[in-house]
Chains A and B, each alone.
Chain A
Amino acid sequence: MKEKFKTLTSQCIPLPMENVDTDQIIPARFLKATSRQGFGDNLFRDWRFDKNGKPIESFVLNKPEYSGSILVAGKNFGSGSSREHAAWAVAGYGFKVVVSSFFADIFKNNALNNCVLPVVVSDGFLANLFKSIKENPKALVTVNLEQQTIKNETTGETEKFEINGYKKNCLLNGFDDIDFLLENKDKIVAWEEAHK
């Protein structure tokens, strides 16, 4: 059983760059672990810390005024490698939601498999949200999974987002894919029989 997700209201951490790839999210040298834990500490490692491990003040995760469990990212977030470590890093840092106008496919899937909800919004919504956060780092966003809506609490702007019914159910109930597949073993065996 995984954690359940229903609604969330939180401050946001803005990352307006486009095409943030998985090598930036979690550099390859941190992929050597053999468990899923601890990746959050190295999220955006090379943007966050200098060579000596000292926090780089200008990077958003190091700015005290920003906090929250929603990451708001520029278009095409999570492109590049299929490493699920990127999703573990995002989840491990404490993000529950990533908002962008476009996600790389594999990242999106990986995020969902780790209880991080990728919310795709329109370019306009995203631009306004960045603006709200820029003007006030404490700006709030509400994500309602049941209703599939996201609301910029500063402007009142609300959008619907897509998620398939199956994944939505999994997240709402803390149910996972392996539970589902194991329940369907007879169908797998039947497929094998039919395709010998």
Chain B
Amino acid sequence: MRTLFDKIWDRHVVQKVNDGPTQLYIDRLYCHEVTSPQAFAGLRERGLQCFRPKQIYCMPDHNTPTHDQDKPIEEPISRKQVATLEQNAKDFGLSYYGMMNPKNGIIHVVGPELGLTLPGYTIVCGDSHTSTHGAFGAVAFGIGTSEVEMVLASQCVLQPKPKTMRITINGKLKPMVTAKDVALYIISKMTTGGATGYFVEYAGEAIRGLSMEGRMTVCNLSIEMGARGGMIAPDETTFEYVKGREFAPKGEAWDKALAYWKTLKSDDDAIFDKEIKFEAKDIDPRITYGTNPGMGMGIEDAIPTIDQISESGKISFQKSLEYMDFKPGEKLIGHKIDYVFLGSCTNGRIEDFRAFAKFVEGKKKCPEVTAWIVPGSWKVDRQIREEGLDKVLEAAGFEIRQPGCSACLAMNDDKIPAGKYAVSTSNRNFQGRQGPGSRTILAGPLVAAAAAITGKITNPADIK
């Protein structure tokens, strides 16, 4: 009567510390350049080596510019951070995929693509969107830099065992509703702190019906409702995706792994600490109107009025709307926008580009809109070109940039100017997240495509 989460977690317990956390064994550590330098510095101070260097993969993604990646990064501090990661990987004997390496990209896009992310694994990274990898039926979660140091030193973390929650979405999704809309719907119902302390398993017909990439989008956003992570039991869709990838097991090892993976599901009588159910038919294309991902609504809906907000939440609600320059009770459909960003570890995968390209095919980008189209990895970029999507996008007036996190957090020079509205397929609409003063409206790739064509918040279903 165990949940999927329990099965994977329990298997990885090295020991339970008396009146303390669990010491958990980690199969895979991903490192990017922002949250790892202090961890490596810590190792050096203590005179330690990496305990299991073969289980650790490093790549820069946050600071990489989305143009001229063959030249040195102009911004000196970014350049230093990337160089520091490269040097650390070298000094400690770790795999490193630097800028321009065909395997480079956003770590949460690359891990699954290369078959480094596998069902049943425990996976950590100093990055909250590590939850993405849960889509494979892995226990994957973000950790802090001190914990990165722990994994470097011992391949273990110390964590209290989280509670479990199952979110079931019954029924089939409506047309034009993407995995992103599902995730934004869930977060707005759960609020940004609603799953804090829990590890979430997503289930139900609507989730089963998602492709692997859609599942990654849903799991990716788990953190935005405070969850430690999110996961989906592996099934044929998962095995099909993993099979043949570069680092996936092969031959006999594959058969053995597959037999194990097939046991990875919650037992019928498993008990979750919390069960939540939603209906797929209630989910429309979605947007956010505020400055946290939980402040979202159906694209045709109106922003709540102040009396609909709890007493304690009123100050932040007002502050948030002031920042966005929206009014309580206002509808946003038809609202003018300035920028569109397609990319990030949430929606920077090949399917997102396929969906976007299909939507804009034969149409023209609105001339007033600046669009940043950023593949999540070089592999996605190659696929775009192989499939001819680049031609479709270019004909519609879109230019493809080089891969990286880009405007998701604007650590490189892809910054949305102050006061401008961006419809963004990324995951966070915090104040200033996409550049100081930027105003972010989170949405899925189809809503982003519709906005890029019309220059306004538009229901993709209304575009013929």
Could you list which residues of chain A lie within 8 angstroms of chain B, going by C-beta atoms? 16-19, 21, 23-24, 27-29, 31-36, 46, 51, 74-76, 79-85, 87, 102, 104-106, 109-110, 113-114, 164-167, 177-178, 180-182, 184-185, 187-188, 191-192, 195
The size class of the interface chain B forms with chain A is 35 or more
Contacts of A191 in B (CB 8 A): 12, 14, 25
Contacts of B35 in A (CB 8 A): 82-84
- Complex CA gap A129/B5 in Å reads 39
Contact B150 A34 (CB under 8 A): no
0/1 interface trace, chain B 2-36, chain A, CB 8 Å (1 if under): 00000000011011011111010100000000110
Tell me which residues from 303 to 331 in chain B have a Cβ below 8 Å from any Cβ of chain A.
Answer: 312-313, 315-316, 319
Tell me which residues from 151 to 187 in chain B have a Cβ below 8 Å from any Cβ of chain A.
Answer: 153-156, 158-160, 162
Smallest Cβ-Cβ distance to A24: which chain B residue: B431
Contact B143 A17 (CB under 8 A): no
Contacts of A195 in B (CB 8 A): 11, 25
Could you list which residues of chain B lie within 8 angstroms of chain A, going by C-beta atoms? 11-12, 14-15, 17-21, 23, 25, 34-35, 37-38, 41-42, 46, 48, 51, 62-63, 77-78, 80-81, 84, 126-128, 142-147, 149-150, 153-156, 158-160, 162, 192-193, 196-197, 223, 226, 228, 292, 312-313, 315-316, 319, 409-411, 428, 430-433, 436
Contact B411 A87 (CB under 8 A): no
What's the A-B contact tally at a CB cutoff of 8 Å? 174
Contact A182 B20 (CB under 8 A): no
Contact B128 A81 (CB under 8 A): yes
Can you name 20 extra interface pairs (CB under 8 A) apart from A34-B81, A166-B17, A180-B17?
Answer: A16-B315, A19-B316, A27-B436, A32-B63, A46-B431, A81-B127, A82-B143, A82-B144, A83-B34, A83-B35, A84-B146, A104-B226, A105-B228, A109-B147, A110-B144, A164-B19, A166-B20, A178-B153, A184-B14, A188-B156
Smallest Cβ-Cβ distance to B39: which chain A residue: A84
Residue of A16, A178, A188 near B14 (CB, 8 A) is A188
Residue of B46, B48, B146, B315 near A18 (CB, 8 A) is B315
Contact B126 A84 (CB under 8 A): yes
CB distance from A18 to the nearest CB of B (A): 5
Smallest Cβ-Cβ distance to B193: which chain A residue: A76
- Complex CA gap A189/B247 in Å reads 24
Contacts of A166 in B (CB 8 A): 17-21, 158
A-B contact pairs, 18 of them (CB 8 A): A32-B63, A34-B80, A35-B41, A36-B38, A36-B41, A46-B432, A74-B312, A80-B430, A81-B127, A81-B128, A165-B19, A166-B19, A166-B158, A167-B20, A177-B150, A181-B156, A182-B153, A182-B154
Instruction: Rank and list the top 3 A-B pairs by shortest CB-CB distance, nearest first.
Output: A166-B20, A165-B19, A84-B144
Contact A165 B20 (CB under 8 A): yes
Contact A31 B34 (CB under 8 A): yes
Given A28-B410, A166-B17, A184-B23, check contact A84 B197 (CB 8 Å): no
Contact A76 B192 (CB under 8 A): yes
Contacts of A82 in B (CB 8 A): 35, 126-128, 142-144, 223
Contacts of A192 in B (CB 8 A): 25
CB distance from B357 to the nearest CB of A (A): 29
Contact B411 A32 (CB under 8 A): yes
Smallest Cβ-Cβ distance to A167: which chain B residue: B20
CB distance from B294 to the nearest CB of A (A): 9
CB distance from A117 to the nearest CB of B (A): 15
- Complex CA gap A165/B158 in Å reads 13
Residue of A51, A80, A102 near B128 (CB, 8 A) is A80
- Complex CA gap A133/B144 in Å reads 32
Contact B144 A28 (CB under 8 A): no
Contact A18 B312 (CB under 8 A): yes
Contacts of B192 in A (CB 8 A): 19, 76, 79
Contact B428 A23 (CB under 8 A): yes
- Complex CA gap A31/B15 in Å reads 34
Contacts of A106 in B (CB 8 A): 128, 142-144
Contact B20 A164 (CB under 8 A): yes
Contact B37 A34 (CB under 8 A): yes
Given A106-B144, A181-B153, check contact A32 B81 (CB 8 Å): yes
Given A46-B432, A109-B144, check contact A28 B409 (CB 8 Å): yes
Contact A178 B84 (CB under 8 A): no
Contacts of A185 in B (CB 8 A): 51, 154
